[in-house]
């Protein structure tokens, strides 16, 4: 199945957080928070500006990003859990 986000939306795959703390304590699944870091799987074409021209997105496929804890909509595509969010939900690009 292929999926192409439209306009200013991006499709993101969460990057799983470490199962251990820096001190070596193992965190069980029930206590672990959902990671707020992900990789852009695909991005829409951009937003149409007031003058009618399309302004491309700042993020692109392959970018590692940070996003808000409650950002986007979780979907299951091809057996994989992904998130669809607006570019405005992206806090920044890592790297």
Does residue 86 fall inside a structural domain?
Answer: yes
Tens of pLDDT, residue by residue over 53-67, are 999 999 999 999 999
How far is the C-alpha of 93 from the C-alpha of 35, rounded, in Å? 15
Say whether pLDDT at 25 is over 80. Answer: no
CB-hemisphere CA count at 13 Å for 84?
12
Does residue 60 fall inside a structural domain?
Answer: yes
Q: Which of 14, 7, 3, 12 is nearest to 84 (CA)?
A: 12
Tens of pLDDT, residue by residue over 29-58, are 555 556 688 999 999 988 888 898 999 999
Question: By the 8 A CB rule, do 14 and 52 touch?
Answer: no
Task: Find the CATH number of the domain harbouring 68.
Answer: 2.30.33.40
- What's the domain count of the chain? 1
How far is the C-alpha of 72 from the C-alpha of 11, rounded, in Å? 9
Structure confidence at residue 27 (pLDDT): 64
| Residue-number span of the structural domain to which 38 is assigned | 9-17+26-93
């Amino acid at each position: 199945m292929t999926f192409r986000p439209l306009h200013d939306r991006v499709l993101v795959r969460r990057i799983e957080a470490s199962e251990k703390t820096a001190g070596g304590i193992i965190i069980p699944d029930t206590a672990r928070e959902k990671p707020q870091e992900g990789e852009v799987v695909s991005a829409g074409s951009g937003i149409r500006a007031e003058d009618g021209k399309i302004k491309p997105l700042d993020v692109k496929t392959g970018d590692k990003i940070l996003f808000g804890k409650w950002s986007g909509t979780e979907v299951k595509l091809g057996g994989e859990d992904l998130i669809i969010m607006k570019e405005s939900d992206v806090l920044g690009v890592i790297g």
